[in-house]
């Protein structure tokens, strides 16, 4: 079932698109924004809402690089593997990143479900190669140290948020 | 007079120019003149006179492109102006600068273009990775609406226009103009057959012009200062300035607005600060991943459309990727072909099957498993994937660096095969 917010987000996309079904990629993006990825169930729900068949919608979902049809972690790391970053030795950083995250290759998610690492085509930041994005944030001129700092900061930020949200933490604050 | 019309007003802080700042620098005066004193035909004529050629890679004359759109009397219904802000050509980062730091210039150019072709709707198709650009553009649209540059009866004229930002979900083909139109219609972004050209049958079957961000940014200064001024900006026959870039092992990778026809030598040595110490120049791709390699013999060839073509390459996006003497050219081409194989939309057989095949051969050679006949096979693929044999320009673009690498760096390919290893790995 799509939530009220998801329906509203899809409808908003329909308004600014040249036609209702033109909002299909937008609808996929909107639902992905709230659920992280597009499951078969989400796909059917969106298809029904847009009056399309799930198969038709899946042909669109699978075409676009940034629509995920399998689960991803809470943060997606997109490491640029295109030519300028390759010249600037992104492969060296890849190995470091894999060790840091404790995973063995692109496409994998860390055990705690925090990060998924994916390759990306040129991020349009070649003057700051090697570059990567974490979710919608861009990081350039990467070194092993800066990668460590970035990952650690995400871990701290998320850790804080989770402690803050847990009933235990609230309880403690009230005392 | 200003000699860097696209970038001169940008702020050192790299923030976007707000509408007041943009207006103070002369912004929106061109749109005002266009909609209140000129006819759409006059605007197209001014752009044609300026000899502006498209900055999206192909260099098609902009005024001529607009002139193919049937005027309202000869068409029924809407027409569209689409801004191609999908920048995804590896090695290219020029449109990002304009979108992030001068969004009102992009908008003013798009609005003037919409007026010229009498379109009531503008779509700005922005790449997913450019979230900051999309955000700044959206803010600029709201500012422009409040000042009456967008909406009904723009500045009291009869011109009515709406602007929408569409964020793409990522695929190289979204940048190809007909693929982009399919993406905007919510379909897979495979290209369409041409003819009919989008100017006649485009978005939702209506006449549509697709222009690159940098192309459109040139329109307001052309309307303000005239064709003669625009031509005088250039060092060669192709008019205007160009955003040139350099990445790779140079001291100061970056982006510079320079006269059209500036040489690679000046860009690399003067603006990019020369090669990093310990590295020498081996070659360069002048305008992104889908342009042929040039070498140190070509350092004094002007970087314009015609001269680059004569030298055996293309100006492309004008952002060059520098190959140094410690980087393996075979591995570099392998990286490039891997990108194109991954991004192939799969619509036509030579590209869908030929690119992975090429990729595998290159992987074999790079890893010391290559055989002498592989080089003939690569040459054959360059022909089979070349112009005229595939449905769109992705595949011909993909083999441009390969075919020129086989020409200029042949001994590197041969050494990999005879020594059964990469000579660059120690
Ligand atoms: C595979 C492929 C990808 C392309 N990507 C882009 C792009 O990201 N941005 C762009 O402006 N043009 C791109 N182009 C060129 C467009 O098809 C089109 O020529 C251009 O947007 C026209 O604008 P212009 O006349 O202002 O140059 C691409 C072409 C191909 C074949
Ligand atoms: S050349 Fe490649 S990208 Fe273009 S239509 Fe054919 S398969 Fe698709
Ligand atoms: S090649 Fe990595 S950002 Fe362009």
Chain B touched by A9 (CB under 8 Å): no
The model's confidence at residue A168, banded by pLDDT at 50, 70 and 90, is very low
CA A111 to chain B, closest CA, distance in angstroms equals: 27
Q: In angstroms, rounded to a whole number, what is the distance separating the alpha carbons of residues B75 and B117? A: 12
CA nearest ligand 2 atom 4, residue:
B392
Class of domain A75-170: alpha beta
Listed by start position, the domains of chain A span 4-61, 75-170
A25 within 8 A of B179, measured Cβ to Cβ: no
Q: Look at the block and give the residue holding tokens 């001529």.
A: B64
Residue B138 burial (CB < 10 Å; 0-12/13-18/19+)?
middle
Residue B76 vs residue B44, higher pLDDT:
B44
Strands, E, within chain A: which ranges? Answer: 75-80, 115-120, 132-134, 137-139
CA distance B120 to B98: 24
The fraction of chain A above a pLDDT of 70, given in percent, is 90
What is the 8-class DSSP label of residue B269? I
- Kindly identify which residue of chain A lies nearest to residue B336, measuring between CA atoms: A83
Residues in Cβ contact with B226 at an 8 Å cutoff, skipping those fewer than 6 apart: B46, B50
CATH 3.10.20.600 residue window(s) in chain B: 241-324
Does residue B247 have a pLDDT over 90?
yes
- Quick one: tokens of A141? 């001129």
- The residue whose C-alpha atom lies closest to atom 18 belonging to ligand 1 is B177
DSSP B158: S
B96: enclosing H helix or E strand: helix B94-101
Contacts of A142 in chain B (CB under 8 A): none
pLDDT tens-digit series, residues A119-132: 999 999 999 999 99
Q: Which of A17-26, B116-125, B183-192 is predicted least confidently?
A: A17-26
The residue of chain A with its CA nearest to that of B338 is A82
Q: Whose CA is nearest to atom 2 of ligand 1?
A: B176
Rounded to 5°, angle at Cα B90 from A152 and A139: 20
The closest alpha carbon to A60, from A48, A69, A49, A70, belongs to A69
Task: Return d(Cα B152, Cα B131) in angstroms, integer.
Answer: 28
| CA angle at B367 for the pair B365 and B368, rounded to the nearest 5° | 65
Q: Taking a contact as any Cβ pair under 8 Å apart, which residues of chain B between 115 and 134 contact chain A?
A: 121, 123, 127-132
With a 6 Å cutoff on the Cβ, whether B347 touches ligand 2 is: yes
Q: What is the CATH number of domain B241-324?
A: 3.10.20.600
Q: What is the chain B residue with the closest CA to A56?
A: B187
**CA nearest B97: which of B38, B14, B18, B34?**
B14
Cβ atoms within 10 Å of B128's Cβ, excluding its own: 23
Distance CA A142, CA A144 (A): 7
Q: Please state the rounded mean pLDDT for residues B213-227.
A: 98
Q: Is B346 in the pocket of ligand 2 (CB under 6 A)?
A: yes
pLDDT at B352: 97
- Start and end residues for every CATH 3.40.50.11540 domain found in chain B: 19-232
User: Which CATH architecture does the domain made up of B329-419 adopt?
Assistant: Up-down Bundle (1.20)
Cβ-proximal residues to B286 (8 Å cutoff; 6+ apart), any chain: B264, B294, B303, B308, B313, B314, B315, B316, B318, B320
Work out the average pLDDT over B63-87.
95
What is the token pair recorded at A144? Answer: 């092993």
Second-level CATH architecture of B19-232: 3-Layer(aba) Sandwich (3.40)
The ranges of chain B annotated as CATH 1.20.1440.230 are 329-419
Q: Provide residues with CB under 6 Å of ligand 3.
A: A 80, 82-85, 122-123, 125-126, 129, 131; B 90-91
- With beta carbons less than 8 A apart as the criterion, state whether B31 and B149 touch: yes
Give yes or no for a contact between B294 and B265, defined as CB atoms under 8 angstroms apart. Answer: no
Identify the bridge partners of residue A134 per DSSP, sorted by sequence position: A77, A137
This complex has an ipTM of: 0.96
A81 vs B123: CB contact, 8 Å cut-off? no
What is the count of residue pairs from A and B with beta carbons less than 8 Å apart? 134
Q: Which of B93, B185, B339 sits opposite A18 (nearest CB)?
A: B185
Mutational pocket test of ligand 1: of B84, B199, B291, the residue with most ligand atoms within 8 Å of the beta carbon: B84
Q: Read off the pLDDT of residues A31-48 as tens digits, 9 standing for 90 and up.
A: 999 999 999 999 999 999
């Amino acid at each position: 079932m799509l939530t009220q917010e998801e329906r509203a987000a899809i409808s908003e996309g329909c308004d600014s698109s040249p036609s209702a079904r033109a909002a299909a990629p937008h609808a996929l993006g909107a639902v992905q924004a709230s659920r992280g990825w597009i499951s078969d169930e989400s796909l059917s729900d969106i298809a029904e809402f847009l009056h399309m068949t799930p198969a038709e919608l899946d042909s669109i979902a699978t075409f676009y690089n940034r629509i995920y049809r399998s689960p991803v972690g809470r943060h997606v790391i997109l490491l640029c593997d295109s030519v300028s970053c390759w010249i600037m030795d992104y492969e060296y950083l890849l190995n470091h990143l894999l060790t840091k995250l404790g995973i063995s290759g692109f496409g994998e998610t860390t055990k705690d479900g925090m990060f998924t690492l994916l390759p990306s085509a040129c991020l349009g930041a070649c003057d700051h190669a090697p570059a990567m994005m974490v979710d919608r944030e861009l990081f350039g001129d990467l070194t092993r140290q800066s990668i460590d700092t970035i990952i650690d900061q995400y871990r701290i930020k998320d850790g804080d948020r989770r402690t803050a949200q847990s009933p235990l933490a609230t309880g403690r604050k009230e005392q | 007079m200003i000699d860097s019309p696209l970038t001169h007003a940008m702020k050192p802080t790299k923030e976007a120019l707000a509408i007041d700042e943009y207006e103070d620098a002369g912004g929106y005066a061109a749109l005002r003149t266009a909609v209140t004193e000129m006819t759409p035909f006059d605007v197209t004529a001014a752009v044609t006179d300026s000899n502006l050629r498209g900055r999206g890679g192909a260099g098609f004359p902009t005024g001529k492109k607009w002139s193919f759109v049937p005027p309202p009397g000869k068409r029924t219904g809407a027409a569209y102006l689409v801004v191609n802000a999908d920048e995804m050509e590896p090695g290219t980062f020029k449109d990002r600068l304009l979108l992030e730091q001068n969004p009102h210039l992009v908008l003013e150019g798009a609005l003037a273009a919409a007026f010229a072709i009498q379109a009531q709707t503008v779509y700005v198709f922005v790449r997913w990775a450019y979230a900051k650009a999309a955000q700044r553009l959206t803010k600029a649209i709201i500012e422009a609406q409040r000042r009456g540059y967008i909406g009904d009866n723009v500045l009291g004229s009869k011109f009515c226009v709406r602007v929408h930002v569409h964020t793409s979900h990522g695929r190289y083909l979204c940048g190809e103009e007909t693929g982009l139109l399919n993406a905007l219609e919510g379909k897979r972004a495979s290209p369409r057959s041409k003819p009919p050209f989008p100017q006649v049958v485009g978005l939702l079957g209506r006449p549509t012009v697709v222009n690159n961000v940098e192309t459109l940014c040139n329109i307001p200064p052309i309307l303000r200062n005239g064709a003669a001024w625009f031509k005088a900006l250039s060092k060669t026959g192709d008019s205007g300035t160009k955003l040139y870039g350099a990445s790779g092992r140079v001291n100061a990778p970056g982006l510079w607005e320079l006269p059209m026809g500036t040489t690679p030598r000046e860009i690399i040595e003067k603006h990019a600060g020369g090669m990093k110490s310990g590295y020498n120049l081996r070659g360069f791709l002048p305008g992104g991943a889908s342009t042929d390699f040039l070498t140190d013999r070509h350092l004094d060839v002007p970087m314009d459309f015609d001269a680059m073509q004569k030298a055996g390459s293309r100006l492309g996006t004008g952002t060059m990727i520098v190959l140094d003497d410690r980087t393996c050219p075979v591995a570099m081409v392998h990286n490039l072909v891997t990108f194109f194989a991954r991004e192939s939309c799969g619509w036509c057989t030579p590209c869908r099957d030929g690119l992975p095949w090429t990729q595998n051969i290159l992987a074999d050679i790079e890893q010391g498993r290559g055989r002498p006949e592989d080089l003939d096979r690569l040459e054959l693929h360059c022909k089979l994937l070349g112009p005229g044999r595939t449905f769109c320009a992705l595949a011909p673009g993909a083999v441009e660096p390969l075919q020129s690498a086989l020409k200029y760096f042949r001994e590197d390919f041969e050494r990999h095969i005879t020594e059964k290893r990469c000579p660059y790995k120690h």
